[in-house]
Amino acid sequence: MSLIREIDYGTPASRNGTDVTLTIDGRTVRVPAGTSVMRAAMEAGIGVPKLCATDMLDAFGSCRLCVVEVEGMRGTPASCTTLVAEGMRVSTQTDRLKRIRKGVMELYISDHPLDCLTCAANGDCELQTQAGAVGLREVRYGAEGENHLGQPKDISNPYFQFDPSKCIVCSRCVRACEEVQGTFALTIAGRGFDATVSAGSVSDDFFSSECVSCGACVQACPTATLEEKAVVEIGLPEHSAVTTCAYCGVGCSFKAEMRGEELIRMVPYKDGKANHGHSCVKGRFALGYATHRDRVLKPMIREHHTHPWREVSWDEAIGYAARKLRDIQARYGRGAIGGISSSRCTNEEVFLVQKMVRAGFGNNNIDTCARVCHSPTGYGLSTTFGTSAGTQDFDSVEEADVILVIGANPTDGHPVFGSRLKKRLRQGARLIVVDPRRIDLVRTPHVEAAHHLALKPGTNVAMLTALAHVIVTEGLVDEAFVQERCEWDAFQDWAAFVADPNRSPEAVEATTGVAAADVRAAARLYATGGNGAIYYGLGVTEHSQGSTSVMAIANLAMATGNIGRRGGGVNPLRGQNNVQGSCDMGSFPHELSGYRHISRDDVRETFESLWGVHLDAEPGLRIPNMFDAAVEGTFKGLYVQGEDILQSDPDTKHVSAGLAALECLIVQDLFLNETANYATVFLPGSTFLEKDGTFTNAERRINRVRRVMSPRSGYADWEVTQLLARALGMDMDYRHPSDIMDEVARTTPSFAHVSYALLEERGSVQWPCNEQHPDGTPIMHVDAFMRGKGRFIVTEYVPTDERVGPRFPLLLTTGRILSQYNVGAQTRRTANVVWHHEDLLEIHPHDAEQRGVRDRDWVRLDSRAGSTSLRACITDRVAPGVVYTTFHHPATQANVITTDFSDWATNCPEYKVTAVQVSPSNGPTDWQDAYEALSHESRRVARELDAAE
Tell which residue, 688, 683, 652, 677, has the closest CA to residue 826: 688
User: pLDDT per residue over 78-92, tens digit each?
Assistant: 999 999 999 999 999
Which residues share a beta bridge with 549? Answer: none
CATH number of the domain where residue 334 is located: 3.40.50.740
Q: Tell if the pTM clears 0.85, that is, is over it.
A: yes
Strand 701-705 to 693-696 pairing: antiparallel
- Average pLDDT on 283-301 reads 94
Residue 378 falls inside a structural domain: no
SS3 241: strand
CATH number of the domain where residue 880 is located: 2.40.40.20
CATH number of the domain where residue 57 is located: 3.10.20.740
Residue 900 falls inside a structural domain: yes
| Spatial separation of the C-alpha atoms in residues 584 and 792, rounded to whole Å | 24
**Using CB atoms within 10 A of its CB, is residue 349 exposed (0-12), middle (13-18) or buried (19+)?**
buried
CATH number of the domain where residue 500 is located: 3.40.228.10
Residue 372: the pLDDT is 76
> What is the distance in angstroms between the CA of the first residue and the CA of the last residue of the chain?
46
| Spatial separation of the C-alpha atoms in residues 351 and 355, rounded to whole Å | 6
Q: Does the bond joining 768 to the residue before it have cis omega, within 30 degrees of 0?
A: yes
| Spatial separation of the C-alpha atoms in residues 67 and 61, rounded to whole Å | 9
* CA distances, 285 to each of 160, 172, 175, 830 (Å): 9, 20, 21, 9
| Spatial separation of the C-alpha atoms in residues 367 and 375, rounded to whole Å | 11
Q: Cα torsion at 756, 759, 761, 766 (round to 10°)?
A: 150
pLDDT above 90: residue 455: yes
Statement to judge: residues 687 and 548 lie in one domain: no
Residue count of the chain = 949
Residue 201: the pLDDT is 60
Any residues with CB less than 8 A from the CB of 350 and at least 6 apart, and which? Answer: 341, 342, 343, 368, 578, 581, 582, 585, 587
Statement to judge: residues 484 and 416 lie in one domain: yes
User: pLDDT per residue over 531-563, tens digit each?
Assistant: 999 999 988 888 889 899 999 999 999 999 999
| Spatial separation of the C-alpha atoms in residues 168 and 179, rounded to whole Å | 20
Residue 7 falls inside a structural domain: no
Residue 934: the pLDDT is 60
Domain total for the chain?
A: 5
| Spatial separation of the C-alpha atoms in residues 192 and 189, rounded to whole Å | 10
- Average pLDDT on 12-27 reads 93
Statement to judge: residues 259 and 366 lie in one domain: no
Q: CA angle, corner 125, sides to 124 and 129, nearest 5?
A: 105
pLDDT above 90: residue 496: yes
Tell which residue, 808, 813, 812, has the closest CA to residue 917: 808
| Spatial separation of the C-alpha atoms in residues 343 and 577, rounded to whole Å | 7
Percentage with pLDDT > 90 across the chain = 79
pLDDT above 60: residue 946: no
| Spatial separation of the C-alpha atoms in residues 883 and 850, rounded to whole Å | 14
Instruction: Please provide the average confidence, as pLDDT, over all residues in the chain.
Output: 92
Query: Where does the pLDDT of residue 940 fall: very low under 50, low under 70, confident under 90, or very high at 90 and above?
Result: low
Residue 205 falls inside a structural domain: yes
Query: Where does the pLDDT of residue 1 fall: very low under 50, low under 70, confident under 90, or very high at 90 and above?
Result: low
| Spatial separation of the C-alpha atoms in residues 868 and 838, rounded to whole Å | 13
Q: Which domain holds residue 437?
A: 391-572
pLDDT above 80: residue 200: no
CB distance 407 to 460 below 8 Å: yes
* CA distances, 834 to each of 279, 286, 819, 831 (Å): 19, 12, 9, 6
Task: Please say which residue of 235, 261, 291 terminates a domain.
Answer: 291
Query: Where does the pLDDT of residue 521 fall: very low under 50, low under 70, confident under 90, or very high at 90 and above?
Result: very high
CB distance 800 to 396 below 8 Å: no
* CA distances, 89 to each of 40, 43, 420, 905 (Å): 12, 16, 36, 67
Statement to judge: residues 529 and 593 lie in one domain: no
Statement to judge: residues 539 and 462 lie in one domain: yes
pLDDT above 90: residue 138: no
Statement to judge: residues 231 and 126 lie in one domain: no
pLDDT above 70: residue 945: no
User: pLDDT per residue over 621-654, tens digit each?
Assistant: 999 899 999 999 999 999 999 988 888 777 788 8
Residue 607: the pLDDT is 96
pLDDT above 80: residue 159: yes
Statement to judge: residues 451 and 568 lie in one domain: yes
- Average pLDDT on 799-823 reads 90
Taking each helix axis from N to C end, the angle separating 652-660 and 623-632, rounded to the nearest 10 degrees, works out to 60
Residue 795 falls inside a structural domain: no
Statement to judge: residues 584 and 529 lie in one domain: no
pLDDT above 50: residue 942: no
Residue 22: the pLDDT is 95
pLDDT above 80: residue 203: no
Residue 938: the pLDDT is 47
pLDDT above 60: residue 812: yes
Residue 380 falls inside a structural domain: no
User: pLDDT per residue over 163-173, tens digit each?
Assistant: 999 999 999 99
CATH number of the domain where residue 179 is located: 3.30.70.20
| Spatial separation of the C-alpha atoms in residues 222 and 52, rounded to whole Å | 8
Statement to judge: residues 495 and 558 lie in one domain: yes
Residue 902: the pLDDT is 80
Q: CA angle, corner 631, sides to 630 and 636, nearest 5?
A: 25
Which residues share a beta bridge with 70? Answer: 90
Task: Please say which residue of 246, 265, 291 terminates a domain.
Answer: 291
Q: What is the DSSP string of 81-129?
A: TPBP-TT-EEES--HHHHHHHHHHHHHHHHTS---GGG-TTTTS-HHHH
User: pLDDT per residue over 876-900, tens digit each?
Assistant: 999 999 999 998 888 887 777 788 7
SS3 397: helix
Residue 70: the pLDDT is 96
pLDDT above 80: residue 933: no
CB distance 689 to 706 below 8 Å: no
Residue 891: the pLDDT is 81
pLDDT above 60: residue 609: yes
Statement to judge: residues 823 and 925 lie in one domain: yes
Task: Please say which residue of 291, 310, 343 terminates a domain.
Answer: 291
User: pLDDT per residue over 907-919, tens digit each?
Assistant: 788 888 899 999 9
Q: One-letter amino acid identity for 856?
A: R
pLDDT above 80: residue 283: yes
User: pLDDT per residue over 302-355, tens digit each?
Assistant: 999 999 999 999 999 999 999 999 999 999 999 999 999 999 999 999 999 999
Residue 935: the pLDDT is 61
Statement to judge: residues 648 and 736 lie in one domain: yes
Statement to judge: residues 347 and 283 lie in one domain: no
595 φ/ψ sector (left φ>0, alpha ψ -120 to 50, else beta): left
User: pLDDT per residue over 679-718, tens digit each?
Assistant: 999 999 999 999 999 999 999 999 999 999 999 999 999 9
Residue 29 falls inside a structural domain: yes
User: pLDDT per residue over 576-600, tens digit each?
Assistant: 889 999 999 999 999 999 999 999 9
Residue 854 falls inside a structural domain: yes
pLDDT above 50: residue 257: yes
